[in-house]
Structure formats: C-alpha cells, structure tokens
C-alpha cells in the first residue's frame, strides 16, 4: 500500500556548487557550479494509517499528493547541499518528521541537465556563460532513497544512485562471434560491427550517507561514471555488450572503493549494414527493426577481487 506524486519538476537557481570531488583518470569532471539545478522528483509514501483511505474512503490521514508536490517545491529552496541524492534525503526526512502517519518514503529523481554555453571571454578565447544554459535531453544523474523511522529517527533502508539514458556508438573494433549456431540462427557472426548501445548504470555505497555528497571526496559523480563507460568502450575491443558492461563495472569498482555494488541495464540498438561493397571500414547503416535485445548485470566487489586473481 502506497501512494505519492511523480513528475514533480523543480528548478533551483544558485544552489550550492559541487566542489572538492576526487578526480579520476577517465574524466575531466571536477565539480559543477549548480547555477541551474533541475530535477524530476517522485515521492512514494507508506503507512498503516493510510489503510482507511483505501478501505473506508476516510481521508483523515491523507496528505494530498498536491500538497506533497508543494512540500517538495518549497524544500528545494531550503536545501543547502549540492547533489540530487542529498536533496532526496533531505526532503524525504522532512516528510517523515512532519507527518507521523508516514512510516516510510521512497524518494527518487532524475536530474534535468543543462549545458554551459561558451561565450567570448573578451581575450580572443571562450569561457562558459554563467547566465545562459542549453536545455538538453542528455543522460542524467539518478538518485533514490528509501527512508524509514526507527525509534523516532530517520534511517536509510535503501540507497541507489545512477546515470541513465547514456547512448553510445562505437564505429568499429567491436565483435560478436562464437554464439550458439543452430537451426534458429540467422544472425551472421561479425568481427567488426558498429555497436550502438543505450545504457543505465546504478550504484550503491557501502555507507549510504556517502551518497549525500557532504564529503565531496567520498561522493561518486554521475558525470565520472558516464566518462568511465565512454573510456572503457573506447579502449576495449569487446565481443558483446555483456563483455562491455562487465569491463565498465570492474573499472567503476576499481576507481570507487566506497561503492559496494554496480549494476547495468543495457539495450542493443546496433544499426544494420546495408552495403557490403564499401572500401575499408566505411559502411552505410540503417536503424534496426524491433524487437530489441537487452542485458542486465549486477556486480559487487567480489567480482573485482576475482578478476584480479585471473
């Protein structure tokens, strides 16, 4: 039994900048000004006291989902941190502190991305505008907290962070060979395909509080995980999407010892070759027809230890 509000879009200007994150070799991301901090938030609440609203039509304990929306919007103005996860933990905790009938809340959000735009710096070069941003539908940071109350205190039951909606194409140096060949097989083996994937990556911390970003050196920015995926894709000649996401997972666990788990949802969107008379690596490609393949994989630190032993 639960109810809540979703698609609560909130935009906060001049939020706290994210500074002091640890840098990694795969990424030039070292923080962001958060001049424009947007999120699409979802709030889901649970509690035995909501049963009469379902069973008897008695709304005495119901906080209207419209009020939940107002609560989220209002608290975006009071949040003094720099991360999606931090905001979700803050506003989720405030729900539990404000409304006794809420026993637990599941707060999640996708960050709405805005790109800095280059403008002349007056010295012959360019610098990012601090005023004008491009609205994008690029990949976005994701956060989720499931919070409950224990002895009157808010505790974290579950935490998940992520980056979703990555779309990457690698034009060559990907194969897909060696799979089962039987009477149902029509797909030709390919030593050098153009591989197009869409990818969501999720991670959980050993200590869920590290996801808040209050200690930036222990925080894992979605931008850095995105960059790891791109770099591993660039570097490795993989034999499948399965192979690729495993290699990305190892690198993420290696770079961020504060994470206990990383998981993937991949979709194969590889274009189809329409000509076999082109020179060299050149191809002409078209969209693939439905249906589409997917891969899901979850790994923890034991996978990293085993890979070191191989």
Ligand X SMILES: O=c1[nH]c(=O)c2[nH]c(=O)[nH]c2[nH]1
Instruction: Show which residues are catalytic.
Output: 5, 65
CA 302, CA 204: separation in Å to the nearest integer? 15
Nearest distance from C-beta of residue 156 to ligand X, angstroms: 36
Nearest distance from C-beta of residue 297 to ligand X, angstroms: 12
Q: Is 241 in the site for ligand X (CB under 6 A)?
A: yes
Q: Among the candidate windows 111-119, 151-159, 227-235, 236-244, which touches ligand X by CB under 6 A?
A: 236-244
Nearest distance from C-beta of residue 268 to ligand X, angstroms: 5
Q: Pattern 245-284, binding to ligand X, x per CB under 6 A?
A: -----------------------x----------------
Nearest distance from C-beta of residue 218 to ligand X, angstroms: 34
Q: Among the candidate windows 92-100, 143-151, 235-243, 280-288, which touches ligand X by CB under 6 A?
A: 235-243
- The answer to whether the beta carbons of residues 219 and 154 sit under 8 Å apart is no
Q: Is 293 in the site for ligand X (CB under 6 A)?
A: yes
Q: What is the DSSP string of 92-120?
A: HHHHHHH-TT--EEEEEEEEEPEEEEEEE
Which of 242, 211, 237, 240 has its CA nearest to residue 225? 211
- Interface with ligand X: number of residues (CB under 6 A): 7
CA 95, CA 296: separation in Å to the nearest integer? 33
Q: Pattern 175-214, binding to ligand X, x per CB under 6 A?
A: -x----------x---------------------------
Nearest distance from C-beta of residue 140 to ligand X, angstroms: 25
Q: Is 240 in the site for ligand X (CB under 6 A)?
A: yes
Burial environment of residue 126 by CB neighbours within 10 A (0 to 12, 13 to 18, 19 or more): exposed
CA 283, CA 275: separation in Å to the nearest integer? 7
- The answer to whether the beta carbons of residues 128 and 30 sit under 8 Å apart is no
CA 170, CA 239: separation in Å to the nearest integer? 13
- Using CB under 6 A, list all residues that contact ligand X: 176, 187, 240-242, 268, 293
């Amino acid at each position: 039994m639960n109810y809540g509000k979703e698609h609560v879009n909130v935009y906060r200007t001049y939020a706290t900048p994210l500074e002091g994150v640890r840098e990694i070799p795969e990424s030039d991301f070292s923080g962001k000004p958060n001049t424009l901090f947007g999120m699409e938030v979802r709030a889901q609440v649970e509690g035995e006291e909501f049963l009469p609203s379902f069973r008897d039509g008695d709304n005495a304990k119901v906080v209207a989902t419209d009020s939940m929306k107002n609560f989220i919007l209002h608290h975006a103005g009071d949040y003094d941190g720099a991360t999606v996860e931090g905001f979700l933990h803050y506003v989720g905790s405030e729900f539990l502190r404000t409304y006794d009938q809420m026993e637990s809340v599941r707060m999640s959000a996708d960050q709405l991305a805005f790109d800095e735009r280059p403008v002349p710096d007056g010295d012959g070069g360019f610098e990012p505008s601090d005023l004008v941003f491009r609205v994008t539908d690029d990949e976005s940071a994701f956060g989720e907290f499931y919070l409950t109350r224990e002895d009157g205190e808010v505790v974290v039951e579950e935490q998940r962070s992520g980056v979703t909606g990555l779309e990457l194409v690698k034009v060559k140096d990907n194969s897909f060979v060696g799979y089962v060949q039987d009477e149902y097989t029509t797909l030709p083996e390919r030593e050098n395909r153009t591989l197009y994937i869409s990818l969501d990556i999720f991670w959980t911390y050993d200590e869920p509080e590290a996801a808040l970003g209050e200690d930036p050196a222990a925080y894992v920015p979605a931008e850095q995980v995105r960059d790891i995926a791109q770099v591993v894709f660039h570097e490795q000649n993989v034999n499948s999407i399965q192979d690729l996401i495993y290699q990305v997972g190892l690198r993420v666990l290696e770079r961020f010892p504060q994470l206990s788990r990383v998981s993937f949802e991949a979709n194969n969107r590889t274009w189809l070759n329409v000509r076999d008379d082109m020179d060299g690596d050149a191809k002409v490609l078209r969209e693939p027809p439905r249906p589409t393949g997917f891969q899901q994989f979850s790994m923890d630190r034991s996978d990293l230890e085993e890979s070191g032993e191989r």
